[in-house]
């Protein structure tokens, strides 16, 4: 790493396992966590704008805000599902339910995985 003259970017789900000496070699250390309330609302509008949906009601906002461990990748997966199914118009409730199912499926997989990272975001490798 010390001899590389370009920009070096590294990603890991296991930063806590990195040697302190290795960590000192990185000028910037970024951590991406699950979305906060504002992020959930932003990504809902961003990823589903092509449906031209009316604004979320107060109840729908609360429902979306209540989805724990929601990440931008979950919105992407649900949007891709709509493309694959050829959906041209879906209700806000259908999209919120699909997001809930996406998170539930991810959590189910993580619990059964030998790479269970206890709700961390990203990939794991042996």
- Per-residue HEC secondary structure of the chain comes to CCCCCCCCCCCCCCHHHCCHHHHHCCCCCCCCCCCCHHHHHHHHHHHCHHHCCCCCCHHHHHHHHCCCCCCHHHHHHHHHHHHHCCCCCCCHHHHHHHHHHHHHHHHHHHHHCCCCCCCCCCCCCC
> How confident is residue 98, by pLDDT bands cut at 50, 70 and 90?
very high
Q: Give 16-69 pLDDT, tens digit per residue.
A: 888 888 888 888 888 888 999 999 999 999 999 999 999 999 999 999 999 999
Asked if residue 124 has pLDDT above 70, the reply is no
> How confident is residue 111, by pLDDT bands cut at 50, 70 and 90?
low
What is the residue extent of each domain of the chain?
Answer: 37-112
Residue 114, pLDDT score:
54
Task: Report the pLDDT averaged over residues 85-89.
Answer: 80
Residue 39, pLDDT score:
98
Q: What CATH number should be reported for the domain whose range is 37-112?
A: 1.10.8
pTM: 0.74
């Amino acid at each position: 790493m010390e001899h590389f003259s370009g920009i070096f970017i590294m990603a890991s789900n296991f930063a806590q396992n990195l040697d302190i000496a290795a960590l000192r070699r990185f000028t910037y250390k970024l951590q991406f966590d699950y979305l906060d309330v504002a992020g959930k609302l932003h990504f809902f509008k961003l990823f589903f704008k092509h449906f031209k949906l009316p604004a979320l009601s107060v109840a729908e906002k609360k429902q979306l805000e209540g989805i724990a461990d929601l990440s931008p990748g979950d919105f992407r997966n649900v949007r891709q599902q709509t493309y694959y199914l050829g959906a041209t118009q879906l209700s806000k409730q259908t999209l919120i339910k699909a997001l809930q199912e996406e998170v539930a499926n991810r959590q189910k997989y993580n619990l059964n995985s030998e790479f269970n990272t206890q709700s961390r975001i990203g990939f794991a490798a042996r």
